Chain A
Amino acid sequence: MKFTKEHEWAKLDGDIVTVGITEYAAHQLGDVVFVELPANGSKVAMGKTFGTIESVKTVSDMYAPVSGEVVETNGELEGNPALVNESPMDAGWIVKIKVADSKEYDTLLSEADYKKICE
C-alpha cells in the first residue's frame, strides 16, 4: 500500500489501484456527510482532483494518486457516507482506477514516509 501527501492511500492489484482516504484524514475531517464520486469511465490524471469529500464543517478535494480510468466507485457511500469514518482503509474505499502507467504508483509515498508527514 502507498500513500500521498493529500492523505490518501492507494493499493495496486494487477492494473487496478483502489483509492481511499487515510485514518488520519478521516479523523481530521470529522463526520463525513457526502462523497462526490466521479463517473465510471471518466479519465483522471495524477495529482488532479477527481471528487470532493464533505464533512459537517468542511469540504476537501480528492486528488488522483495515479493517472488512468475510473472503473468502479464505492456506491455504498451514497447511502452511507459514514463508512468513510468507520472504515476508511477498507469498506470506506472511494474509487478504483485502472492505471495508465504503473511507474506512477511506484513514486507514491511509503507508509513510513507518510507517517512522518502526519507527525
Chain B
Amino acid sequence: MAEPLIFDLSKDGCRGFTLPALDVPEVDPADHIPARFLREELPLPSMSELDVVRHFTRLSRLNHSVDIGFYPLGSCTMKYNPKVNENMARLPGFANLHPQQPEETVQGALQMLKTLEDSLAEITGMDAITLQPAAGAQGELTGLLIMKAYHRKKGNHKTKIMIPDSGHGTNPASCSMVGYEVVNIKSDPRGGVDIEDLKSKLGPDIAGLMITNPNTLGLFDENIGELAHLVHSVDGLVYYDGANLNAIMGWARPGDMGFDIVHLNLHKTFSTPHGGGGPGAGPVGVKKHLEAFLPNPRIQFDGKKYRLQTKCRESVGPVLGSLGNFLVLVRAFAYIMVNGREGLKNVSAYAVLNANYMMQRLKKTFDLPYDRFCKHEFVLSGKGLAKYGVKTLDVAKRLLDFGFHAPTIYFPMIVEESMMIEPTETESKGTLDCFCETMEMIAREAAENPENLRNAPVKTPVRRLDEATAARKPDINFFQKPE
C-alpha cells in the first residue's frame, strides 16, 4: 500500500512537540498588528511524534542509497559518506553558531575555513579559493562572473564561451545566467576536444573555454595544454569543471594544466553526502591574477586573528547570503584530514582502477564507443540491444530489480543509448563483480526474454510511473487538485 501523506495522517488535536509554557505577560496581537495582516487559516497537519517518526522512517525505506547498495551513477561520484563526518558536522561548536556572531567568538570556525581553503588550493594547484558557492552550478556561476569581471577590467569585449558537446548541462545554463553566449565544440574520434573545430571558432569574442577533464566520457584530454594555450592566445580564460576531480586527485592538478578557474563539488570528490539532491558545496579556485575578483567576504589571518574582509573593491560581490554551506565544508575538512596527502592520491588510484576493471569486463557484452583506458568512469552504449526492442532505459530499470541503482543514462548525449558508469574507490571487487554479472545476465535476458526488461522494474516500491500525465496535469501541491 502507498504511504499516506502527512495531510492524510493528520488528526485534529494531535501535537508532535510541546513548547515550554509562555512565561511573559500576554498581549492581544490584534492590538499591535492591523487585523488585515493576521491570518486565520493555517493549513498544516497535526500529528503525534511517533506518527511523524514512523511516516518518515517508512518513507526512507523506499529509497535506494549508498548505505544500502551500489550506486554507479556516472559523474555523480556516489562514494561512501564516512559516518564520523556526520558527528563532526554536529559538534555544537560548529552547528550552533549564528552567522552574525562577533568575529572573536567564531575564531575556530574561521580557522577551519581558512585551512580548508589552503588545502583545496594545494589539491587543485590554484592560488586562492572561495568556499562560498552552495553547489557545483553556483561555483560555475561564480567562476563565470570572475571571468566577466576580468574581461571588463581589461576592456575586453567578449561575448562567447566555448563548451565541448560532452559538457554537463549546467555549463551552458550557467553561461546564460551571466549573459554569455555558448559556442559548442565537437569531440574528436578519441573522445577529446576536436582541436580543429576549436581553432575554427576561436576569435577575439571568446571569453573562455569551460571544460571537464577527464570529460564526461571518463577520458583524459591529453591536449589540454595546447587547448589552454590556444584560448589564452586570444586572452580567453580556461575554466575547469571539477565534477570529475575524483579521477586525478593527487596525480595531476588543474592549476598545472593551465586552468585559470576551477570549481569543485565537495559532495562528489570530498565525500559529503548528497542528501537526496543537496546540500552540496562548490568552492571556486583561481590563479593569482584573478584573486581580487573572488566573492567577498574573504577570510584573512593577520598572524593573530582571523577576520572577514568585506571591502574588496574588485570583487564580484557575495554570491550567497552567508560564507557558504558551512557544515558541508566541515565534513569535507574532516575527510581531507583523515585521508591526508597519500590517502587522497589513493582515492583517485582506486577510483580509476575500479572503473577500468569494470570497463574491461563489460566491453565484452556492451558496445564501448571509446576503447582506451578510462579514468574514474566510462560510457557504454546500449544500442546493440535495439535489435531485441530493448533500450538503455530498460536495462537501467531492470538493474533496479536486482538492488542496484542504475548508471547515468542518455548522458553524455554524444553517445547513443549511453550508460555512464562510475564505481568510485569505496566499492569492493566483490560488489563490482556482482554488478558486472548482473549486467551480463540482463544482456542475455534482453535476447531471450526482452519483455522482462521492458516491464522492469517489478520488485521496487512502485513500477514505472506515468510521467506524461504528471507533466500534462501537474499535481504538485496537495491543496490544489489538478484540473
Contact = CB atoms under 8 A, between A and B. Distances in A.
Do A and B touch directly, given a CB cutoff of 8 Å in the complex?
yes
Interface of A: 31, 33-34, 54, 56, 79, 81-82
Given A33-B471, A56-B468, 5 more contacts: A34-B471, A54-B471, A56-B467, A56-B471, A81-B472
Contacts, number: 17
A95 to B, nearest CB: 20
Contacts of B471: 31, 33-34, 54, 56
User: 3 closest A-B pairs (Cβ-Cβ)?
Assistant: A31-B468, A33-B471, A56-B467
A56 to B, nearest CB: 5
Interface in B243-273: none
17 contacts: A31-B467, A31-B468, A31-B471, A31-B472, A33-B468, A33-B471, A33-B472, A34-B471, A34-B472, A54-B471, A56-B467, A56-B468, A56-B471, A79-B483, A81-B472, A82-B468, A82-B472
Contacts of B467: 31, 56
A34 B472 CA distance: 7
B393 to A, nearest CB: 10
Interface in B447-479: 467-468, 471-472
A21 B457 CA distance: 34
A77 to B, nearest CB: 11
Contacts of B472: 31, 33-34, 81-82
Contacts of A79: 483
Contacts of A81: 472
Interface residues of B, number: 5
Contacts of B483: 79
A94 to B, nearest CB: 17
B483 to A, nearest CB: 8
Q: What's the dominant secondary structure at chain B's contact region?
A: helix
Nearest to A85: B468
Contacts of B468: 31, 33, 56, 82
B475 to A, nearest CB: 13
B341 to A, nearest CB: 44
Nearest to A79: B483
Nearest to A81: B472
Contacts of A54: 471
A33 B466 CA distance: 12
Contacts of A31: 467-468, 471-472
A32 to B, nearest CB: 8
B464 to A, nearest CB: 12
B96 to A, nearest CB: 44
A54 B483 CA distance: 19
Contacts of A33: 468, 471-472
A33 B262 CA distance: 38
A55 to B, nearest CB: 8
Contacts of A82: 468, 472
A79 B472 CA distance: 8
B117 to A, nearest CB: 39
A31 B468 CA distance: 6
Nearest to B471: A33
A65 to B, nearest CB: 25
A34 B468 CA distance: 10
A41 B471 CA distance: 29
A54 B470 CA distance: 13
A42 B166 CA distance: 37
A56 B483 CA distance: 19
A67 B471 CA distance: 32
B266 to A, nearest CB: 30
A82 B473 CA distance: 11
A33 B471 CA distance: 6
B416 to A, nearest CB: 14
A33 B468 CA distance: 6
Interface in B195-244: none
A54 B467 CA distance: 13
A81 B468 CA distance: 10
Nearest to A30: B468
A25 to B, nearest CB: 17
A82 B468 CA distance: 9
Nearest to A82: B472
Contacts of A56: 467-468, 471
